[in-house]
Structure 1
Amino acid sequence: MNKQQMDRIHTGKGFIAALDQSGGSTPKALEQYGIKGDRFSNEDEMFGLVHEMRTRIITSPAFDSAYILGAILFENTMDRKIGERYTADYLWENKGIVPFLKVDQGLAPLDNGVQLLKPIPDLNGLLKRANDRHIFGTKMRSVIKEANPGGIRSVVEQQFEIGRQILSMGLVPIIEPEVDIHSADKSKSEQLLKNELFEQLSALDKDAKVMLKLSIPTEDDFYRDLIDEPHVLRVVALSGGYEQREANERLARNHGLIASFSRALSEGLTAQQSEEAFNGMLSRSIRSIYEASLT
């Protein structure tokens, strides 16, 4: 494991950029970027277009390590190059930004108020490739829609079971049990979730380090004690469907919590923009998310 990257993620100022839209969410991401479905006829063309979008973001002068600590990639993006370098190498060697990889294969159907992770075929093989591609850590997303104690327990147990497998391969897992921001009992779900997270963290080996990616809590500073937990390298927040302005306002009220935004990061960016307009919009977004992550 790269100690320089570990130190940067643990103590650096900035946020994590989420550039990990996968097969299911890519068409919507492209549509928001101004590329309609009639521009591609198969997955290869679709992933080529989204890689062009991500390359434009990553190579922009606005995408700067002064504001961004790390970036989460999709598997297809990890296997592609920016210029002569694989994407993760370009991020670290050219930009000083730590590369992460989304490893989940999407969500299982709703059961007990939650959506678990689908099975991840040959996860060890994927983790070996991630090491070969110089990836620092991984990310996997489950969703909590109701304050169901058994469902929430199953989400956290599954996340940490897979997290231990990731740790055994020398990578840092980002545990992401998202609480749906539209949930009618969101605050109750957050309390149940926090209790389960503490139970699983207490069972980790002494030197094990994980990251947590959580919805911005209903109660400000609700996750402060998780941020201070010795096994937790960093707690980052997803935007969860909030528009950028609201996500930033909510985030800024939570001390020690930093952003890991996707939709809120790329908000307003389109393929049709000039380079000047694109870079200007991206710069304003990055700086506003950075400022909200400093509190």
Structure 2
Amino acid sequence: MSIEQLAETAQAMVAAGKGIIAIDESTATIAKRFAGVGIENTEENRRAYRELLLTTPRLSDYISGAILYDETIRQSTRDGVPFAKYMADNGIIPGIKVDKGTHPLAGCPGEVVTEGLDGLRDRLKEYYKLGARFAKWRAVINIGEDIPSGTAIEANAHALARYAALCQECGLVPMVEPEVLMDGDHDIQTCYEVTEATLRSLFGALYEQNILLEGTILKASMVVPGKDCEEQASIEEVAESTIMCLKSTVPAILPGVVFLSGGQSDDDATAHLDAMNRIGNLPWPLSFSYGRAMQSAALALWSKDLKGNFAKAQSTVYERAKANGLAALGKWEG
């Protein structure tokens, strides 16, 4: 894929009023989600659930792309159409999660680094052949007593940059996701400082590894207080803090920023995105790449009757996509 094609794909991912649906839960994570609503964790149930999400009628009105898991990109609809082909034919860009998850960072108690660079070039080539046009790698930054350390931030930024370089070499747009976790009792100011340091380190590393920013998407966490913090922030405060942090760290040439929901409620994730876009006058589009905040209502409904509630569950996916698509334009009415 040429430089122009990478840039075109990145721009299409953040087209006005559209965002990304994240359905890249590992088999272990989907097992937990299924257990929570009483669905047996079989390959067929996982396939059927992903089909429910991806074949939602008119999903591409508000969804530009979907992040898949390794198992999912190899699966097909019940009519035998590979998911990646079905998506491409219906105006949705196939993406793929490529990291191997977090592991304890040696010498840094309480901190983690994401692994998966070994063999990544060959995996990316295969995913490109399977139809993927963008990839995702998630780094995790914990906030706690005396953490994060500069070591953890730098190790994760370096891995994200190496992953991004391999993606672009293989013709895939890298989605770089440095998630600052909401776990803890820290206040919004602490989250701001950690997010700012993380993003500075990330863009420094991307620059050093010669990453084409025009062909890169940032998946960011919002600047929010820890979920155990006594003083929770207003919608406006989160929106203003997040925008200020992004403006001070993210180059204007980046095609766009998509947010993770990161454990926020469905409505909070949508309200925060809407408030940011209402502030306006931004150098890049701000959109969404939500997992749970797009799926949880549909999963609960589908679990009650896997065959009977299929279409009903799809209609809730469409409604969530519409709400977030409007929020990406600052036009959600709540």
The TM-score, its normalising length taken from structure 1, stands at: 0.87
Deviation at 1:155, TM superposition (A): 0.9
Deviation at 1:284, TM superposition (A): 1.9
Deviation at 1:206, TM superposition (A): 7.2
- Aligned with 1:59 (options 34, 40, 55): 55
Identical-residue share of aligned pairs (%): 24
In the other structure, the counterpart of 2:122 is: 125
In the other structure, the counterpart of 1:288 is: 323
1:68 and 1:286 map into 2 onto residues whose CA distance is 7
1:33 and 1:71 map into 2 onto residues whose CA distance is 23
Give the AA of the match of 1:134: G
Query: Residue 199 of structure 2 contacts residue 250 of structure 2 at CA under 8 Å; is this kept in 1?
Result: no
The residue correspondences of 1:95-244 to structure 2 (distance < 5 A) are 95-109=90-104, 111=108, 114-146=111-143, 147-183=148-184, 184=186, 185-205=190-210, 207-208=212-213, 209-218=215-224, 219-221=241-243, 222-224=245-247, 228-230=251-253, 232-244=254-266
Deviation string 1:218-249 (CA, Å, 9 cap, x unpaired) is: 4131214555532x232111000011011111
Deviation at 1:161, TM superposition (A): 1.3
Deviation at 1:30, TM superposition (A): 1.8
1:32 and 1:12 map into 2 onto residues whose CA distance is 35
Query: Residue 266 of structure 2 contacts residue 294 of structure 2 at CA under 8 Å; is this kept in 1?
Result: yes
Question: Does residue 257 of the first structure (1) align with residue 286 of the second (2)?
Answer: yes
- Number of corresponding residues: 284
Deviation at 1:112, TM superposition (A): 5.5
1:206 and 1:252 map into 2 onto residues whose CA distance is 30
Give the AA of the match of 1:261: Y
SS in 2 for 1:241: coil
Query: Residue 210 of structure 1 contacts residue 233 of structure 1 at CA under 8 Å; is this kept in 2?
Result: yes
Query: Residue 211 of structure 1 contacts residue 235 of structure 1 at CA under 8 Å; is this kept in 2?
Result: yes
Deviation at 1:210, TM superposition (A): 1.4
Deviation at 1:135, TM superposition (A): 0.8
In the other structure, the counterpart of 1:43 is: none
Change in Cα spacing, 1:180 to 1:48, as seen in structure 2 (3 Å) is same
Change in Cα spacing, 1:174 to 1:223, as seen in structure 2 (3 Å) is same
Query: Residue 23 of structure 2 contacts residue 68 of structure 2 at CA under 8 Å; is this kept in 1?
Result: yes
Superposition RMSD in Å: 2.2
- The answer for unaligned runs of 5 or more in structure 2 is 225-240, 278-284
Give the AA of the match of 2:135: T
Deviation string 1:196-228 (CA, Å, 9 cap, x unpaired) is: 123124335374521111111241312145555
1:189 and 1:91 map into 2 onto residues whose CA distance is 37
1:115 and 1:206 map into 2 onto residues whose CA distance is 24
SS in 2 for 1:21: coil
Give the AA of the match of 1:268: A
Change in Cα spacing, 1:7 to 1:59, as seen in structure 2 (3 Å) is same
SS in 1 for 2:50: helix
> Which aligned segments of 4 or more residues in structure 1 are displaced greater than 6 angstroms?
none
Deviation at 1:276, TM superposition (A): 4.5
Deviation at 1:272, TM superposition (A): 2.2
Give the AA of the match of 1:291: L
Deviation at 1:6, TM superposition (A): 4.3
Deviation string 1:49-93 (CA, Å, 9 cap, x unpaired) is: 11110101111215x211001100001101111233221111011
- Aligned with 1:271 (options 300, 303, 326): 303
Query: Residue 190 of structure 1 contacts residue 217 of structure 1 at CA under 8 Å; is this kept in 2?
Result: yes
Query: Residue 56 of structure 2 contacts residue 315 of structure 2 at CA under 8 Å; is this kept in 1?
Result: no
In the other structure, the counterpart of 1:18 is: 22
- The answer for unaligned runs of 5 or more in structure 1 is 41-45
Change in Cα spacing, 1:292 to 1:224, as seen in structure 2 (3 Å) is farther
Question: Does residue 87 of the first structure (1) align with residue 92 of the second (2)?
Answer: no
